[in-house]
Structure formats: C-alpha cells, structure tokens
Structure 1
Amino acid sequence: MTRYVLQRFAGMIAVMFVVVTVVFVIVRIAPGDPASVMLGPDATAQDVASLRARLGLDRPLVVQYVLFLGQLARGDLGESIFLNRPVLSALADRAEPTFFLTIFSLLIASVIAIPVGIYSAYRRGSLFDQATTTLAMLAASIPSFWLGLLLIQFFAVRLGVLPVSGYGGPGASLATRLGHLVLPAVALGVVSSALILRFTRASMLDVLGDDYIRTARSKGMGEFRVVMKHAFKNALIPILTVLGLTAALLVSGAVVTETVFGLPGVGSLVVSAVLRRDYPVIQGALLVVAALYVIINFLIDMLYLAVDPRVRY
C-alpha cells in the first residue's frame, strides 16, 4: 500500500512540474509583448521597459524559469497588474462562491445521477431505462449557460422565488448567499449529472451479470441488498473516477456560469483578467485549477484503497 501511495504522489509531482512548465511557456510565447499588451497602446517605451523589468521579462528565458520555480516554491503566484495585490490573495477572496457552487453542483448531480443510474441498470431495457438514457443524452448536449438563462427566466423573473444574480451584499448572511447559488448549482448539476448517470449505469451493468451476483440471489438474499451491497460496492471505482473528474471540471467550467449569474467567483475574476490582459492573474488561475485537478485525482486514487482491497496488495 505504501508503494502505491508513493507512486501516486510521485506521479502528482511530475504532472504538476509539466503543467508549471507548459503554463510558463504559453505565457511567454503568446503573440506580442505582454508588457505592451497590459499597458495598452498609449504606454510610452519607458513605461513598457519599467513593467518588463518589474515582471522580470527582460532577463534570459532560463533565468525567468528558475525564478518562476523559486517563486512558486514560496507560494507566490505574482502580483496582479490591475488589482495591485498578490494573485493568491485575489484568488482566495473569490474562492468562496466558486467552492460552494462546485460542492452544490456535484451534490445535485450525484443525487440525480447515481440512484437513477443504478435503477436504470437494474431495469435494463425497460421503458424507464430507455427514457433515462435519452434524457441523459439530452442533458449532456445542453449548454449550462443556456439552461441557466431558462432557470432565471422561469424561477427568478416569472415566479420571483429566487434571486436573478449576484451573491448578496457585503453584509449578507451565509443563508442569503447560498440562496443565490441555487439556480447556478442546478444549471451545472443537471448538465453534469448526464455523464455520471451513464458511467453509473455502465459500471452497474458490468457487475450485475457476474457469478457472485447470481450466487447471492441463489442464497435467497434480497434484491436491494444484492444490488447495493454487492453490485454497487464493486462498481464504485469507475463511479468515483467520474465524480472526481466532474468535480475538477466544475471548478474550471464555472467561468461561463458565474458570468451569467453575476457571481463574484474565480471564474469572473479570470474573465476580467483576460479582458484586461492581466497575465499574472491568468497564469495563477491556470496553475490553481491544474493543481486542483491533480489533487482531486490523487484523492480519488486514495479512495480506491478504501473501496477495493485489491489495490492495497
């Protein structure tokens, strides 16, 4: 088991090193001078040279890369050009809406997809199975921002039961802020549930026909216990994998949804940074999202130890 953990941890470090290198290269090879783009066409040559020196862009590329690695090792993602504050601090201030939106969306997707996927596999070929498969394909093809606009039109504008946008005022309570996340969480959760449902159904179908399932039934064990204790437990690894990938996708895919609902999250910060050409913020956000991907995958690998005893050996 220790060897398994060390291998996964070493793989996580290697992937992060590659991601850091790719992000560094992408920012440096982008068309145009980053300093000139950030300052705009009215900037003087002296202003551009000053900003290049401040960002370290006037140094050799190898030196920039070494300094960049040292900066990351200290937990420093640089300083935002327009916000005049550390990038890590700016991302941390915007993390709460994105964090709760991701958690709620994943919960909604799991509550919808896992039970429906299990029952659909159990009733394979039935009208329920065909209907849920069709609806899953339909949900997967719906853009989350379009579904969000429909939800706003019906629940916020027509019925007036939920807020249209925003995250509450500065003094708003946590309950008020969470109320603003209902519609965006539903929009993201419904779309994300399609992938989880299909993986759950396929994984359950793989194990429902195995010999140990027939043996459990031949011993007179109840159907609910057969399906949940034996089949579902052995089908968990693919389901955990897709849940982890979905969580990571929700973090990175919340950009458009946060913009539609006016949420002051990481997504809206990235959009404004792209429009302003604030490269330190864009670079820092890319690294944070990539790190979340890697960490979530590592945690899923650790969950395999608890779900499948064979992994320990």
Structure 2
Amino acid sequence: MRRYLFHRLLGMIVVIFLVLTIAFVLVRLAPGDPASLMLGPDATPGEVEALRIRLGLDRSMIAQYLTFLGDALQGDLGQSLFYNQPVTTVLAGRAEPTIFLALFSLIVALVIATPIGIWAAYRHGSVLDQASITTAMLAASVPSFLTGLVFQRYLATDLGWFPASGYGGAGAGFGDRMWHLVLPSITLGITNSALILRFTRASMLDILGEDYVRTARAKGMSERRVVLRHALKNAGIPIITVIGLTFALLVSGAVVTERVFNLPGMGNLVVNAVLRRDYPVIQGTLIIVAGLYVLVNLATDLLYLAVDKRVKY
C-alpha cells in the first residue's frame, strides 16, 4: 500500500508539472496584450510599455516561466492583473458556489440515476428499461444551458419557486446562498445523471448474470437482498469510478450553468479572465482543476478498498 501511494504521489507531481507548463504556454499563445486591455484604447504606448515592465511581461518567455514555476512551487500562483490581488485569494472567493454547485448536482444525479439504473438492470428488456435508456440519451443530448433557461422561465419566473439568478446579496446568509443553488444544481444534475445511470445499469447487468447471484437465489434469498447486498456491492467499483469523474467534471465544467444563472463561481471567473487576458488567474484555475482531478482519482482508487476487500494495491 505504501509503495502504491508513493508511486501515485510521484505521478501526481509529474501531472501537476506538465499542467503548469501547458497552462503557461497556452495562455501566452492567445492574441492580445494584457497591458493594453487593462489601460484601454486611450492609453499611450509609453503607458502600455511601463505597465508591461511593471507586470514583468517585457521579459523573455523562459525568464517568465522560471519565475512562474518557482513561485508556484512555493504556493504562490501570482497576482491577478485585473483584481490586483493574489490569485489564491481571488480563487478562494469564487470557490464556494462552484464547489457546492458541483456537490449538490452530484447528489441530484445520484438520486435520479442510481435507483433507476438498478431497477432498469433488474427489469432488463422491460418497458421501464427501454424508457430509462431513452431518457438518459435525451438528458445527455439536451444542452445544460437550454435546460437551465427552461427551468428559469417556468420554475423561477412563472411559478416563483426558486430564485431566477444570482447568489443572494452581499449580506446573504449561508442558507439563502444555498437556496440560490437549488435550481442550477437540478439543471446540472439532470444533465450528468445520464452517464451514471448507464454505468449503473451496465454494471448491474454484468453482475446479475454471475453464477454466485444465481446461487444466492437458489438458496432462497430475497430478491431485495440479492440485488442490493450481492449484486450492487460487487458492481460498486465502476459506479464509484464514474461518480468520481462526474464530480471532477462538474467542478471544471459548470461554466455554462454559472453564466446562465449568474453565479459568481470559478466558471464565470475563468471566462472573464480569458476576455481580460488575466494570465495568472487562468493559470491558477487550470492548476487547481488539474490538482482536483488528481486528488479525486486517488480518492476513488482508495474507495475501492472500502467497497471490495479483494482489491489489493
């Protein structure tokens, strides 16, 4: 186990290093000068050049990269060019809505997908099974922004059940902020439930055809115990894998939903940073998301031990 964790940690370091390098190169390949964008069209060439020197943009790419890499290794992701604050401070201020949106969306997806996937596999070939597959395909095909706009129109504007947009106000309490996330979470949860549903159904179908399941039935065990204790437990590994990947995707892929519902999350922050050529914020977000992916993958692998004691590292 220790050897496995050691190799995984080495792999994490390599991945983060590659992400640092790719993020640095990609953001600087984008057209546009951050200094010109910050000062506006009325700035003189001298003012633009003075700002470039102050920001360190006049140095060579190699010098900028070495400085960026050294600072990142010390936990310093740089200073935002637009907010004039440390990138870590800017990201921390936008992390709450994104993290809770991803968490609530995952809960919604699990509530929808897990029971339907199990029942569809148990009733393989039935009308419910075919309907679940069709519904999953439809949920995966409809863009999240369209689902969000429909929910905004009918559930928020017409019926008034949920806030249409925003994240509460400046003095909003925790409960009020979470209430503003309910409708976006339902939107994202429905869209991402399709993948979990299909994996749950496929995994359960494989397990329900195994010999030990037929043996359990032959011994007179109830169908509920056979399905939930024997089949679902042994089908848990691929389901856990897709749940972990879905959570990571929700954190990094909630940009459209945040824009539709005007949430001050990391997705909105990245979009604005790209438009403003705020290099440090773009780089910092990419690093955080990559680190999250690596940690989620590691946590998912470790959860295998809790689900199936036969797993050995």
Q: Fold-level match, TM-score > 0.5?
A: yes
Name the CA distance, whole Å, in 2 between partners of 1:71 and 1:192: 37
| 2:26 matched residue in structure 1 | 26
| 1:100 matched residue in structure 2 | 100
Name the CA distance, whole Å, in 2 between partners of 1:243 and 1:297: 10
Describe the shift of the 1:306–1:158 C-alpha distance in structure 2 as closer, same or farther (beyond 3 A): same
Name the CA distance, whole Å, in 1 between partners of 2:23 and 2:40: 23
Q: How many residues align?
A: 313
Name the CA distance, whole Å, in 1 between partners of 2:5 and 2:88: 29
| 1:288 matched residue in structure 2 | 288
Describe the superposition over 1:213-257 as per-residue Cα deviations: whole angstroms up to 9, x where unpaired: 111111111111111111111111111111111111111111111
1:109 partnered with 2:76: no
Matches within 5 A, 1:1-313: 1-313=1-313
Q: Which blocks of at least 5 consecutive residues in structure 1 are unaligned? A: none
Does the CA contact (< 8 Å) of 1:12 and 1:298 recur in 2? no
Letter in 2 for 1:95: A
Name the CA distance, whole Å, in 1 between partners of 2:220 and 2:13: 49
- What is the CA distance between 1:274 and its match in structure 2? 2.0
Aligned-partner SS, 1:170: coil
Does the CA contact (< 8 Å) of 2:241 and 2:300 recur in 1? yes
| TM-score computed with the length of structure 1 as normaliser | 0.95
Does the CA contact (< 8 Å) of 1:8 and 1:301 recur in 2? no
RMSD, aligned CA: 1.6
- What is the CA distance between 1:307 and its match in structure 2? 2.0
Describe the superposition over 1:192-217 as per-residue Cα deviations: whole angstroms up to 9, x where unpaired: 00010001111111111111111111
Describe the shift of the 1:30–1:14 C-alpha distance in structure 2 as closer, same or farther (beyond 3 A): same
Which deviates more, 255-264 or 184-193? 255-264
Between the aligned residues of both structures, percent identity stands at 64
Letter in 2 for 1:111: V
Name the CA distance, whole Å, in 2 between partners of 1:211 and 1:259: 50
Aligned-partner SS, 1:125: coil
Describe the superposition over 1:164-187 as per-residue Cα deviations: whole angstroms up to 9, x where unpaired: 111111222222111111110000
Name the CA distance, whole Å, in 2 between partners of 1:281 and 1:66: 18
Name the CA distance, whole Å, in 2 between partners of 1:311 and 1:51: 57
Name the CA distance, whole Å, in 1 between partners of 2:30 and 2:274: 13
Describe the superposition over 1:253-288 as per-residue Cα deviations: whole angstroms up to 9, x where unpaired: 111111111111111112222222222212211221
- What is the CA distance between 1:71 and its match in structure 2? 0.7
- What is the CA distance between 1:161 and its match in structure 2? 1.7
Letter in 2 for 1:100: F
Which deviates more, 271-280 or 86-95? 271-280
Does the CA contact (< 8 Å) of 2:165 and 2:180 recur in 1? yes
- What is the CA distance between 1:134 and its match in structure 2? 0.3
- What is the CA distance between 1:112 and its match in structure 2? 0.6
Q: Which blocks of at least 5 consecutive residues in structure 2 are unaligned? A: none
Does the CA contact (< 8 Å) of 1:98 and 1:251 recur in 2? yes
| TM-score computed with the length of structure 2 as normaliser | 0.95
Does the CA contact (< 8 Å) of 1:94 and 1:264 recur in 2? yes
Letter in 2 for 1:72: A
Name the CA distance, whole Å, in 1 between partners of 2:279 and 2:257: 22
Describe the superposition over 1:112-166 as per-residue Cα deviations: whole angstroms up to 9, x where unpaired: 1011101111110001000010000000001111101110111111111211111
Name the CA distance, whole Å, in 2 between partners of 1:37 and 1:226: 64
- What is the CA distance between 1:37 and its match in structure 2? 4.8
